[in-house]
Amino acid sequence: MAGERSSQSSEIALVQAIAGGSHEALAVLYDRHADAIYATASRLTSDRQVAEAVVQETFLALWNRAESFNPVAGSLQAWLHTIARNRTVDRLRAAGRRPGLFPLSAAAGEGEDDNGALERLAATGIVVGAGSGPASPDSAVVAGEVRMMLQHALSGMPEVERTVIVLAYREELTQSEIADRLGWPIGTVKTRTRRALRRLRETLADELGPAAAVDEMPVPTGEGR
């Protein structure tokens, strides 16, 4: 509890610093909150460009309206999520779309369980209904802790491996398309992809169990490309 108060106090100070013109304070708060804002916006819209625009507009609003943040009314996280949600809905309305549905755990922040996420989202007006989620594997979502571990694993893996994973899952490119995009031999793309996947699966071992053993993967030629 004392830690929470200290954290909230430091955020209040940072917002005050923004009101005083500190771009450094804005950068600190970006590092703390951008991931969660982007994740929520991208799940609501399923559109990377819209999610990026929402993040930019949310932090612009924080800069322009720092004085209007009232810590008594709620946390900075809740305030930023309200702004982000409004920006997201505005953009979806402009495009004639509706927000997507996503499970509570997908919106949970660091160290936040479903109940905490529900309370925060309900306070911001994001939640319009609740019920049991579907039980199929397709309903699997990334709990905050697992998601953070995956992000950490992604940031720590070799650049060439991170590149293929990002192109595969974010750009939704096939291995042939990745090879064309990067000018790598297809065999190199496949080897790096499998290596990267195995690294990430190690992070998920507690969730899914370890990957099945396979023969040692060969080191591709042109590793440094």
Partner 1 sequence: MDHDEVREQLELAATEPAGIDRLMAGDTPLAAAIAAHLAGCSSCTDELDRLRRAAIIIGDAVRTTPPPELRERTLAFVREVGRIRDPAPEAAPARLAPVAAVAPVAVAAATASTGSGRGLAWIGAIAAAVIIAVAATTFVLDRQSGNELAAAQEELTAAREESAGLAHVTAATLALAGEPDAENVRLAGTDDRWGRIVYSADKGELAVIASGLTEPAGDREYRCWVEIDGQRTPVGKMFFGGDLAFWAGPVETIDDLPPGSRFGVSLADTAGSDVDDPPVLAGDVGE
Residues 52-81 that bind partner 1 (CB under 8 A): 52, 55-56, 59-60, 63-64, 71
- The answer to whether 220 and 191 have CB atoms below 8 angstroms apart is yes
Of residues 13 and 130, the one with the C-beta less far from partner 1: 13
CA 80 – CA 69 distance, rounded (Å): 10
Min dist. Cβ of residue 72 to partner 1 (A): 9
Q: Which span (18-26, 79-87, 92-100, 116-124) binds partner 1, by CB under 8 A?
A: 18-26
Cα angle, residue 39 at apex, residues 107 and 115 outer, rounded to 5°:
10
Distance of CA 31 to the CA centre of its chain: 12
**Can you tell me which residue has the tokens 């969730």?**
207
CA 141 – CA 194 distance, rounded (Å): 22
Min dist. Cβ of residue 99 to partner 1 (A): 15
Residues 115-134 that bind partner 1 (CB under 8 A): none
Note whether 146 binds partner 1 by CB under 8 A. Answer: yes
- Tell me the backbone φ, ψ of residue 44, rounded to 5 degrees: -70, -35
Give per-residue burial for 22-34: e unless 16+ CB within 10 Å, then b: eeebbebbeebbb
Q: Contacting partner 1 (CB under 8 A), which of 92, 118, 157, 166? A: 166
CA 48 – CA 93 distance, rounded (Å): 17
Residues 28-57 that bind partner 1 (CB under 8 A): 28, 30-31, 34-35, 38-39, 42-43, 48, 51-52, 55-56
Q: Which two tokens stand for residue 142?
A: 């990334």
Classified as helix, coil or strand, 223 is coil
Q: Contacting partner 1 (CB under 8 A), which of 76, 175, 179, 188? A: 175
Q: Contacting partner 1 (CB under 8 A), which of 141, 157, 182, 220? A: 141
Residues 190-209 that bind partner 1 (CB under 8 A): 190, 193-194, 197-198, 200-201, 204, 207-209
Q: Contacting partner 1 (CB under 8 A), which of 115, 140, 158, 180? A: 140
Q: Contacting partner 1 (CB under 8 A), which of 73, 96, 131, 138? A: 138
